[in-house]
A = this chain, B = another copy of it.
Amino acid sequence: MTTIDEPTTHTGKAFELSRRATLMPASPIRRLAPLADAAKARGTRVYHLNIGQPDIETPACMRERLRQLDERVLEYSPSTGTPDFLRSLQHYYEHRVGVSLSTSQILATTGGSEALLFAFMACANPGDDVMMLEPFYANYRSFTTMAGLEIVPVTSRGRDGFHIPAREAWERALTPRTRIVALCNPNNPTGTVYGPDELRMIADFCREHGLFLISDEVYREFVYDGKKAMSALELENAEEFVIVVDSLSKRYSACGIRLGSLVTRNREIYDACWRMAQGRLSPPGIAQFIAVGAMELGEEYTREVVAEYQRRRDVLYEGLTSIPGVFLAKPEGAFYCVAKLPVDDANEFASWLLSDFQHEGATVMVAPASGFYASDLGRNEVRIAYVLNETDLRAAVEVLRNSLSAYK
C-alpha cells in the first residue's frame, strides 16, 4: 500500500492525480447513498440513522436576522471574522464555557472543518503523525490526508464506554514523528464524554512530549444526566499547546451556515492560522451576521435542546440494548453511539438493509463503523445518530430488531 510519506516522485504518467488525492477517503456512507435512493424509489421509507443533521429548529433569533440584513453590498468580512461575531464568541466562552479570552485568540472559520484543517496544517509537517483515539470522526482522515499526516490510533473499547485508555497505551503508541494528539470531546462517533482526569492525563502526556492538543469540542453542550464537558481551554498550564476547534453547527442546529472557530492562546499558532485565513479572505458573511443573534439565547435554550436529546438517547439506548446480540455503551454526550451488532460485516449488513430488507415498508440506514477506525477493528460495529424524533427513533429500532432476526 502506498503511504503518505513515501518519496513524492511521480510515475511520469501525464495528468496523474496527486497521491493525497488518491488517498483521500470517500465518506463512509457514500457507497450506501445510491442504495438508499433505490430503496426510496421502490417506495420503502428509509430512517436515516447515519447522519448527524439535527431536526431541531435553528433558533428564530438567528433566522430572523436574515430579514434584518440590509447591506447593499455583501462585502468581504475581515479574515479573522467580523468584530461583532468575534465579540459574540468571546461572550459565549466567557459566560457559557467559563473561559476568558481576548478576541485575538479566536479565529472565525468556515465551520469546524476549516478550523481542523488549519490546526493540522499549522502543527505538523507532511509525514508527521497525529495520535487519535479510535474510533474517530471519519472526516478527520480527510484533513490529515490534505495535510499529509498519518493517523496513529490509540484504541478505545466499547466495554470501557470508549473512555480513554491508560497513559501506558499512549506511551506505547508514541512515535518519533508524533506532533499532535487530536481529541473529540464529547465524542463523535462514540458519544463518550471524557472527565477532567482523562483530559489532564492527555494534557500531561502532550506537555511532556511537546505535542499539540487539538481538541474538537463541537458537541460541547450535548452532555446528559446533568453532567458537563470540560473544555481543553480549562486545562492548567496548557496555553502553549491547546488548540480548540469549535462550531456553531450543532450548538444552534445551524449546520448549513458553515461557521466555526479556532481558539488558541499560542500566539504563533494563532498567527499561522490567521495567515491561512488571510489566504482564503473571509469566513461566510451572512452566516456571521445571523450568528450574532445567538447572543439572545439564554441557558434555557441549551437545557431544552439537551433534554430533548437525552430523551432520544434513552429511547435509543433502551431499544437497542433490548435487541439480542446488540451491545453499546450508554452514550454520555453528543448524539451518536457506536453499537456492536451480531453480524460479521457491518458494511454488508448496511447494504443488505437498504437493498434486500424492509419491515412494514421501512428500513434503516446506518454508518458502518470501519470508516471510523484506522486499524482493522470495528467491522461488526455501526455508528448510529439519534437526530430523529422519538416516534421515528422507536420505529427505526423496531426495523433494526426485525432485520437482525431476518439477517442470516
Q: Which residues does A use to contact B, with CB under 8 Å?
A: 5, 8, 10, 13-22, 24-27, 30, 53-58, 63, 66-67, 69, 71-77, 79, 110-111, 113-114, 117, 121-128, 139, 141-143, 146, 148, 179, 209-210, 212, 240-241, 253-258, 266, 268-269, 272, 275-276, 278-287, 290
Given contacts A21-B268, A67-B67, A126-B126, 11 further A-B pairs with CB under 8 A are A8-B125, A15-B241, A19-B125, A20-B121, A55-B73, A58-B73, A75-B255, A121-B146, A141-B279, A142-B280, A146-B276
Contact (Cβ within 8 A) A143 B110: no
* Structural contact, B121 and A18, CB atoms closer than 8 A: yes
Cβ contacts A to B, 26 pairs, < 8 Å: A8-B127, A8-B128, A10-B179, A15-B266, A18-B125, A21-B268, A24-B279, A25-B275, A26-B278, A54-B73, A55-B73, A58-B73, A66-B67, A66-B69, A74-B257, A76-B255, A110-B280, A111-B280, A139-B281, A141-B279, A142-B276, A146-B276, A256-B282, A258-B284, A258-B285, A284-B287
Question: From A26, which residue of chain B is reached at the shortest CB distance?
Answer: B275
- Expressed in whole angstroms, the minimum distance between the Cβ of A19 and any Cβ of chain B is 5
Say which residue of B14, B128, B268 sits within 8 Å of A210 (CB atoms).
B14
- Residues from chain B with Cβ under 8 Å of A111 in the complex: 280-282
B122 and A17 contacting across the interface, CB-CB below 8 Å: yes
Name the B residues within 8 Å of A66 (CB-CB): 66-67, 69, 286
Q: A258-B283, A281-B139 are in contact. Are A58 and B72 (CB under 8 A)?
A: yes
Q: Please, which residues of chain B bring their CB within 8 A of the CB of A209?
A: 14
Task: Give Cα distance in the complex from A325 to B279, angstroms.
Answer: 33
Known: A77-B256, A128-B8. A279 touches B139 (CB 8 A): yes
